[in-house]
Structure 1
Amino acid sequence: MPTIPPAGGRPAADEPHQHRGAAESFGSDAERYDRARPRYPDALVHRIVTAVPGPEVLSVGCGTGIDARQFQAAGCTVLGVEPDARMADLARRGGVETDVATFEAWDAGGRSFDAVVAAQAWHWIDPVAGAAKAARVLRPGGLLAAFWNVFQLPPDVAEAFAAVYARVLPDSPFNAQAMRKQGPDAYRALFAKAADRIREAGAFAEPEQWRYDWEWTYTRDAWLDQLPTHGTLTQLPPDQLQEVLTGVGAAIDAMGGSFTMPYTTVAVTAERTR
């Protein structure tokens, strides 16, 4: 679920990675983030693990270690790199060795890896510098895999939520039309840009795009627990955030107390060839 506005919500020249305040706002409630954010398909983790020459994985922008723990469970040794010390501390408490740094400035200290992964984080990294850095720390035959969970609100849910945003946050880009258009198509330009910058690094085979479709049913409480971790809300004043939560909670109650969310996980991957 990329936490940047959908297409049209921000000028093209205004790159997500330039918004460090937004990028590093998620640690304001790291435990909620770790508890409420969705995991990634086991099939994706398995495909990455079986595609690489060894078990050593670097998780870039690892946050609280959600993806890192999934790779550990699949038998990998994982090092995380995370710029927010609050998120990194929680990742360490969860058993993930984590360095505090932006990926662009991080010192690998001569270490190399079989896979460099970025779960829900590559758009916060300079795409040119990030691809070049990944090439330097990957072993030949290693894999760069940047992936995102993208949700698609059902039409009736989108309409109900948009009405709340229009009332509480009238300047938000998440109006009814934008909410209806959320999903992998809305982020096509993001995925294409990631692939283009990987090509420019000159050290990778032709990038591939992998897609996994799945769904999850949210109760009212589960969705309200996750909602404050979305990038559009992490920097809201508490009173406005509470208005959003109250309004969205009432909308879910009106739907019967739960709804089913279609998700697509999209991965942009490339093998390091030289």
Structure 2
Amino acid sequence: MEILETAFMQRALLAALLVGITAPAIGVYLVQRRQALLGDGIGHVAMTGVGLGFLLSTSPIWTAAVVSVLGAVTMELIRAYGRTRGDIALAMLFYGGMAGGVLLVNLSDGGSTANLSSFLFGSLSAVSDADLLAISLLAGFVVLVSVGLRRQLFAISQDEEFARVTGLPVQALNLLIAVTAAVTVSVAMRVVGLLLVSALMVVPVAAAQQVSRSFRATFALAVGIGVAVTLGGTTASYYRDLPPGATIVLLAIGVFVALTAVAAPLARRRARAADADATCATPLAGGVPAQR
């Protein structure tokens, strides 16, 4: 295939595959916790890490990962202990992170609008061998946490108080989810972009929830959708010269719409079946169950 003959597309497709796995894998917990926009906030903070990478002439992925983790921990602590002014503190953190990133990129020798745009919206040709190594290592961490600790993470996502009663380290697990989300943002920014990464964490999960009836099925289907749209969007971007991040997110939204359209009649059919079963089980006056 032509698309596999070029080295930069081989790297881009492999990076897209890793992003398609990791973003929904941690996103399923964020959606369960009603923190769907956490990835968007972390993406703003990660901009400072990108700018720092340019300023220090090092890999922006690693500096973005460090800054994102620090920002995510701060967000979680504000969420846990913040009171009436917590929303203002978060807003200052988000906008300060974005402003700091733009300033640092412009202060650096290698900074430019084009370089900044590739991190904001993704770029197929921007994934280098060093980037791919960093993405692979960080993705391995995300998969290890999201799959290896799925029972514990699901428990605190469902009911923190019950999880605390059962003896789980709730605060430590909450911080771990925040850190893992931050690492995922760093993994995905080369392919999807910092401004769109949150959509890839949320939309495949929301799409999977339309047709799945258990957490395990939702997890598996969301990851499958994530892989399909990232690989599909990357391929379409190559052949049609489209921005990869926007293409991937629009494909994910298209899958959500399609599954929603399929799920609606299925839900009505299940409801009618349930009503029919309830009617058949209703006893008559003589105490004999009604027959069909």
Tell which structure's C-alpha radius of gyration is larger: 2
Structure number with higher strand proportion: 1
TM-score under structure 1 length normalisation: 0.26
TM-score with structure 2 setting the length = 0.24
